[in-house]
Structure 1
């Protein structure tokens, strides 16, 4: 089990636990949809992937990282099985990348999931998302695929991480 702690959150940033239907989330989710559609050359509709309730407590969560009230990053998890949360929709707005914001979102989601009794996190990322692959490896996630293989031959890249109990 790897302990992963990003730098403290700067004062101008706040975390908001909300829902995927919150109007504040729309710009991030629209940009994420556009990015996926562009990278994979096919239309993507996140609204059809999972019902919004999948990310509601107690089994799930959706959070936004706000800078002076504007969304700059976000992410979610849902119940995968009784002991496992599945991360979804981890995203940093294109104008705010390379600042460690995704690390904050990831760390917060991990702590929240552990606090709700989850002991494992599972996720998949796409083969055309090398920055996400690097983030998860740096955060102590174990790849459930051959790292030396061409990601395009694998499809979605699965990862897992075991969580420490929150006390």
Structure 2
């Protein structure tokens, strides 16, 4: 990696941490450091499970427990066993905690305004646009992609969301029972693979691979959740599936798609797939593609 790029990232980090007051022991002059303030914000008025907070913020379990105990000692939150699973602790803001969250919101707005105020409108617009781009790129870098059992709750959530979207977009709708091209048994080892993309511990996309024969695999169920679109996630999922296909010994990958999914057509063509004739009996497919894997 280019050492100049690394140096720029480090300079950026120093500027941002100083500008937002991350180094202050009393963040926004409310008597506690940024870590506790951020955790209180994430708990919010609706509360959150400790497990979800840990995944969302990428915190060590021990450190999260210390932060929760500190906020609880300050009377800002209550941590109680979850129901029905008591091991899944849930943190909820108290009345005092909700008032503190409101105070942080007002002060955070004031801090953001103070960063923008010295700039003229043109530079202000540039800064806001640059911040949006940095946010999107950092989010893209934070996505984790890993194998997942296709029957897991998170995998089923992704597939259910994907199928509902297909039902909305396909002419005549979509019935998962009528699409027998990718039963769950075909998407699990040794004949297949299901992968899940997570951002902040939450599922944001999926993809699958199934065996057609010893040399040929088929790509299935590539989907990205709407909030994660624009991050290049679909291409990353496709690249991961291709890498896994190579490890499984496939020389060729095939896939099908519906005529309504024009963005998918563009993705596959850009990734080096070529259009071929029909190779399956999927009732929802209108176009079929193939790619020979390098090596």
Pairwise TM-score range, normalised by the shorter structure: 0.7 to 0.9
Q: Which of 176, 190, 202 in structure 2 is aligned with 1:45?
A: 176
Query: Is residue 2:209 matched to residue 1:77?
Result: yes
Contact 1:33 1:46 in 2 (8 A): no
Instruction: Single out whichever of 23-32 and 135-144 deviates more from structure 2.
Output: 23-32
User: 3-state SS of the aligned residue for 2:242?
Assistant: helix
* Larger Rg belongs to: 2
Q: CA deviation at 1:11?
A: 4.7
Instruction: Single out whichever of 33-42 and 70-79 deviates more from structure 2.
Output: 33-42
Q: Which has the higher strand share?
A: 1
Instruction: Single out whichever of 131-140 and 27-36 deviates more from structure 2.
Output: 27-36
Q: Which of 198, 223, 226 in structure 2 is aligned with 1:91?
A: 223
Residue aligning to 2:253: 121
Residue aligning to 2:243: 111
Residue aligning to 1:35: 165
Q: CA deviation at 1:119?
A: 0.3
Distance 2:234 2:177 in 1: 19
TM-align CA RMSD: 2.0
Q: Which of 188, 211, 216 in structure 2 is aligned with 1:56?
A: 188
Q: Which has the higher helix share?
A: 2
Distance 1:48 1:133 in 2: 19
Residue aligning to 2:268: 136
Q: CA deviation at 1:48?
A: 6.3
Contact 1:125 1:157 in 2 (8 A): yes
- Distance change (3 Å), C-alpha of 1:21 and 1:47: farther
Give the structure-1-normalised TM-score.
0.82
Q: Which runs of 4+ in 1 moved over 6 A?
A: none
Residue aligning to 2:66: none
Contact 1:19 1:52 in 2 (8 A): no
Number of aligned residues: 149
- Distance change (3 Å), C-alpha of 1:47 and 1:64: farther
Contact 1:13 1:65 in 2 (8 A): yes
Give the structure-2-normalised TM-score.
0.47
Residue aligning to 1:162: 292
C-alpha offsets along residues 87-140 of structure 1, whole Å, 9 cap, x if unaligned?
100000011111100011000000001111000000001001000000000101
- Unmatched segments (≥5 aa) in structure 2: 1-136, 278-284
User: 3-state SS of the aligned residue for 2:162?
Assistant: helix
Q: Which of 12, 15, 20 in structure 1 is aligned with 2:142?
A: 12
Name the structure, 1 or 2, with higher relative contact order (CA <8 Å, separation 6+). 1
Contact 2:140 2:232 in 1 (8 A): no
Residue aligning to 1:4: none
